Structure 1
Amino acid sequence: MEIIILSGCIGVLVLALMVTFYQIKQLKRQLVDTNASLSQQLSQFERDVKIIKLELEEIRQSSVGVGKTVKTLGQYFSQLEQKFNEVELFEPESKLYTRAAKLAEKGASVDEIMAECEIPRAEAELVLSLRNKVAR
């Protein structure tokens, strides 16, 4: 009778070992599948990072180019402003028209512009007309 009990215990142990091995085999398969999935995700992530790095480098290079262009334009406009100021200094007539434009901007009438700047009516009307077009 002891042999029967011992055989039954061994049978139960063998069955328990078989179930445990089966569960271990399933867990191993799940780990392999998960590892493969994670490897694919990692590969995709690495590709995405590479693409983003390339795009970031393109943006950086573009911004450097834009910065150089802005600097060049700033220098160009500075030179133009300097030349404009020089022309204003040497042309006394331009001072009159600048003054007339400022008066028109402040809302002066044609008669006021003529009197203040000593320019003909047609020129005062022209200045006023141009100023009104710019204001729109």
Structure 2
Amino acid sequence: MDWQLAAPTVLEIVLCVFILILIVAIGVIYSHVCTLRAALNDCENKNAEAILRVEAIANNANNQQTEAQARTLVITRHLKELEEKQTDIENHVRELKLQDPSLRLYQRAAELVKQGASIDEIIEACDIPRAEAEMLVMVHKQHS
């Protein structure tokens, strides 16, 4: 048996060159695929981080909105209480205006007693009898 090697034909050479080109092309494509996978992973990581930041911002906004609603409820309640107090005061003022004028004199006399006015000053300012002025002063001293 003669194992002599025959010279390659042109077709065999072209076929070998074509196979080598295919192998190089596959290597280049594989390298690009690896690069694209790495870029895709990087984008996915950045996207996940961005989603976490957006969720944190949304949670913070929700918390702030909840706090604002709670504060609004408290303020609304306080405003309602103030409006009720204002109505009560207005009603009281109306009642005072409708009171007997002589009662207003005695209220004025009582205020003067609280301020430390003398009996003569009370008599002069309120035009009430001396006995009543003395009684107001005596009652005020008992309560003080």
More divergent stretch after superposition (73-82 vs 42-51) = 42-51
Amino acid at match of 1:30: A
Identity %: 18
> What 5-or-longer segments of structure 2 have no aligned partner?
1-9, 103-144
Q: Is the counterpart of residue 13 in structure 1 residue 22 in structure 2?
A: yes
Per the TM alignment, residue 52 of structure 1 is displaced from its structure 2 partner at its CA by 1.4
Provide Cα deviations, 1:88-132, integer angstroms capped at 9, x if missing partner.
Answer: 122559xxxxxxxxxxxxxxxxxxxxxxxxxxxxxxxxxxxxxxx
Per the TM alignment, residue 35 of structure 1 is displaced from its structure 2 partner at its CA by 0.5
Q: Is the counterpart of residue 35 in structure 1 residue 47 in structure 2?
A: no
User: Paired residue for 1:22, among 27, 31, 37?
Assistant: 31
State the partner residue of 2:99: 90
Q: Distance in 1 between matches of 2:101 and 2:22?
A: 115
Amino acid at match of 2:97: E
The number of aligned residues is 93
Q: Distance in 2 between matches of 1:7 and 1:92?
A: 127
State the partner residue of 2:57: 48
> What 5-or-longer segments of structure 1 have no aligned partner?
94-136
Amino acid at match of 2:35: Q
In the superposition, the TM-score normalised over structure 2's length comes to 0.61
| Structure 1 or 2: more helix by fraction | 1
Q: Distance in 1 between matches of 2:36 and 2:100?
A: 93
User: Paired residue for 2:87, among 45, 70, 78?
Assistant: 78
Amino acid at match of 1:22: S
Amino acid at match of 2:86: F
Larger Cα-atom Rg = 2
What's the Cα RMSD here? 1.4
Q: Distance in 2 between matches of 1:31 and 1:91?
A: 91
User: Paired residue for 1:61, among 70, 74, 77?
Assistant: 70
Q: Distance in 1 between matches of 2:64 and 2:12?
A: 77
Q: Distance in 1 between matches of 2:100 and 2:84?
A: 24
